[in-house]
Amino acid sequence: MFKGSNVALVTPFKNDKLDEETYIKLIHFHIENGTNGLVPAGTTGESPTLSHDEHEKVIELCVKESHGKLPVFAGTGSNSTEEAISLTTHAEKIGADGALVVTPYYNKPTQEGLYQHYKAINDKCGIPIIIYNIPGRSVIDMSVETMARLYELKNIIGVKDATGDLNRVDQTLKKMGKDFIQLTGNDDNAFEFNKRGGIGAISVTANIAPKLCSDFQKFSISESDNEIKEAKRLDKVLQPVHHSMFVESNPSPVKYAAKLLGLCDDSVRLPLVGVKDSTKEIIKKALHSAKLI
């Protein structure tokens, strides 16, 4: 249900307010250009600075506009278990296909605390949950053993792995088997990630290169030598773009790239700021190299 190229959707703003009209256009842009799934209200969607109402609204718009054409896994995580439960049950109520739940940042829970956090959310909802493990932002790292415990629960189905450690794919596959969904959160390691047993990505780059990312994902899990060769070619094309998206804090670079492509404005909310001129040049060069502009 959830594989291939899934976009970590940006949230466009106009005069610091949610730009609903542009957001709807972005959703249809992805439907028309091969994206395999939508992930609203994640870190790339600036969830830390969305109000509770805005957070719920972007998920509602995504579900409504996709109208079953693409699966929607809503970002519903929080470092407050009660808030995560509230956001996840709301996503379920309005028809999201699942939830992407980040490990609780800042609190620094133990492995047992992580288990109990996800178990509490699991026990209050009835939709699939993907664990989002991103130690670089949340400071904590969920162990494979804790993930295996959670996989025994009814709603936990997989992980968005943003550890950058490709050995985790092997360890997770060995522990949980191939039915446990493994998606990378690092665009730059997607080829090797899939080669080791992953089945896709939750992608920042897909915001601006949906067709390239979708084709790459499709070919990277193929058994055809020719298609694997094409996946390698596309990976080489995309690598400079992937790199340029993280020269500064996400999503400032991808929003600037989206502006260059006429998709949305590049405004972000404080404490994020727009990218520096030197970064703009790196992004422009990368987009030119991939023939996106």
Q: The sheet that has 4-8: what strands, in order across it?
A: 37-39, 4-8, 200-203, 181-184, 156-161, 129-133, 98-102, 73-75
Q: Tell me the per-residue pLDDT of 183-216, one tens digit each, with 9 for 90 and over.
A: 999 999 999 999 999 999 999 999 999 999 999 9
List the chain domain ranges.
Answer: 4-225
**H-helix or E-strand spanning residue 17:** strand 17-18
In the prediction, which pLDDT does 2 show?
Answer: 87
Mean pLDDT of the chain: 97
Q: Which positions are annotated as active-site residues?
A: 132, 160
Contact 231, 216 (CB under 8 A): yes
% of the chain beyond a pLDDT of 90: 99
In the predicted model, is pLDDT for residue 264 greater than 90?
yes
Burial class (CB in 10 A: 0-12, 13-18, 19+), 152: exposed
Is the predicted pLDDT of residue 236 greater than 90, yes or no? yes
d(CA 22, CA 212): 22
CA distance 41 to 93: 16
Alpha helices for 33-100 (secondary structure H): 52-66, 81-93
| Cα distance between residue 235 and residue 232, in whole Å | 5
CATH number of 4-225: 3.20.20.70
